[in-house]
Structure 1
Amino acid sequence: MTVTNIQSGTNVHEVADGIYRINTPVVIEGAGGFSFNQYLIVDDKPLLFHTGPRRMFPLVREAVASVLPVESLRYIALSHVEADECGSLNEWLGSAPQSSPLCGTVAAMVSIGDLADRAPRALADGEAISLGNHVVRWLDAPHLPHAWECGFLMEERTSTLLCGDLFTQGGSQLPPVTESDILGPSEAFRHEMDYFSHTKNARLQLEKLASTNPATLACMHGSAWRGDGTALLRALADALSE
């Protein structure tokens, strides 16, 4: 793990081949320790998943620059429209002149086509694009855990699911990647601060994600996780059904 900003504690760690977790620990009033993660895929067409909040842009930019030239980014991707997902989207588009927003068709239609300074590259459910050595596939997941436009990216070469707000863990001093239980801590966090929409289609959508057989779950808050992602996603479906 490389610390790129001593004051904030922002750090970078490679969680899968060519995929880097950028992490900034924070203290949120009433919630204690927390963290914001972005994921950088290094390739011919580099991709950043999640931008971080707008005020965190200098920290995340500094971290990305420690891995590759910021201006080389080609895609600024997001799961859904929320400050920690795309708050600094236009700052990134300004820093990387060849980049474009990458999102699902619903997000492009209802928000990003208007909010972003450049037109988005909208992906249909199941559509894949090549970054070079890596291939990312978009998976629609409306209202899982929230937002109509929600979806995730599966990086197929490393079997890494960029899973956004799923398995959110509280705390600010967690390891970059773990093989320990994250379902228990994430369920405890969900019961304390309920951020799920409780869509009736949650099990079907989680089964779709499970069918991709992920080996790494790239969570936006807390540790990334390595193991049998199919089993863990099905365990989450069971927990949500209780």
Structure 2
Amino acid sequence: MATLSVSSGTTVDEIAARIYRISTPVEIPGGSGFSFNQYLIDDDEPLLFHTGLRKLFPVVREAIERIMPIDRLRYVGFSHFEADECGALNEFLAAAPRAEPLCGQIAAMVSVSDYADRLPRALDDGETVSLGQHSVRWLYTPHLPHAWECGFLMETESATLLCGDLFTQGGSHHPPLTQDDILEPSEAFRRKLDYFSHTTSARAMLQRLAELQPTTLACMHGSAWTGDGAALLRALADSVEHN
């Protein structure tokens, strides 16, 4: 990845009850802006989903501490093994002595058990973890959009799908939560970079996610989105299948 420069301050916004989007805008030399989002669920057993790049750890840490002391973190989760997903994992484990990496069985087997300074809690497909008032369910989605170990977390109380790289939107500045169309801009971004694996199982996995009836989609890049998540996921399946 090209050298990144932070173009302005990291922002923190509540997108659902006690679920916070932490977003850092960056500029990529020779390219356009981009954003890296993490999601913090502040509960009895707080969860951070995505760590951000290792070099962004200081600004993400500062953002978390606007909400709660960082040493309260209990879980550090991510969709798949990639620098922007878990690059700062060990920095967070050092700052939060009780925190465990949270990932799927495949990620634990192929990468995380070796990389992480603390053994991960490896989840089976469909396994649920209680955080207190919130609960998250691991959904194994191999190669959707990429990586064998890929999966997402569904926060069941607020119907928030922590959907990783699905619906990635380019650009560095976005509203924290929108009802506007994110399918067209995210699909334009996908077609330009072709970061999907084009797995033959994509439609079935997107349909399974749609059946959960999410009302908030917590995207890793760009705005989070609120509305009929089932319809949007099915529209993504149509678009990926035909384009």
TM-score (ref. length: structure 2): 0.96
Structure 1 segment 187-206 matched on structure 2, within 5 A? 187-206=187-206
Paired position in structure 1 for 2:149: 149
Which residue identity does 1:57 align to in structure 2?
F
Moved over 4 A (4+): none
Mapping of 1:1-242 within 5 angstroms?
8-242=8-242
Residue 71 of structure 1 aligns to a residue in which SS? helix
Q: Tell me, what secondary structure is at the counterpart of 1:217? A: strand
| SS at 2:35 equivalent | strand
Residues 207, 30 of structure 1: CA spacing in aligned structure 2 closer, same or farther, 3 A cutoff?
farther
Q: Distance in 1 between matches of 2:80 and 2:233?
A: 19
| Cα deviations by residue, 1:3-29 (Å, 9 ceiling, x for unpaired) | xxx973201000000100000001113
CA separation in 2, counterparts of 1:219 and 1:23?
11
Q: Residues 7 and 33 from structure 1, CA distance in 2 versus in 1: closer, same or farther, beyond 3 angstroms?
A: closer
Which moved further from structure 2: 216-225 or 30-39?
30-39
Q: How big is each residue's C-alpha offset from its partner over 1:118-172, in whole Å with a ceiling of 9 and x where there is no partner?
A: 0000110000010000000000000000000000000000000000000000011
**In the TM superposition, what is the alpha-carbon distance from 1:31 to its structure 2 partner?**
3.2
> Partner letter of residue 28 of structure 1?
I
Q: How many residues align?
A: 237
Aligned partners of 1:117, 1:225: CA distance in 2, in Å?
34
Structure 2, unaligned runs of 5 or more: 1-5
Which residue type is aligned with residue 180 of structure 2?
S
Q: Quote the RMSD (CA, aligned, Å).
A: 1.0
* SS at structure 2 position matched to 1:113: helix
Q: Deviations over 1:74-113 (max 9, x none)?
A: 0000100000000000000000000000000000011000
For 1:216 and 1:89, the matched residues in 2 are separated by 25
Give the SS at the match of 1:92.
helix
Q: Which amino acid aligns with 1:140?
A: Y
The answer for unaligned runs of 5 or more in structure 1 is 1-5
Q: Give the CA deviation at 1:30.
A: 3.7
Secondary structure (helix, strand or coil) at the match of 1:29 reads: coil
Length-normalised TM-score, structure 1:
0.97
Q: Distance in 2 between matches of 1:31 and 1:8?
A: 17
Q: Equivalents in 1 of 2:218, 2:121: separation in Å?
A: 22
Output the amino acid matched with 1:131.
L
Equivalent residues of 2:167, 2:219 under 8 A apart: yes
Q: State the percentage of identical aligned residues.
A: 67
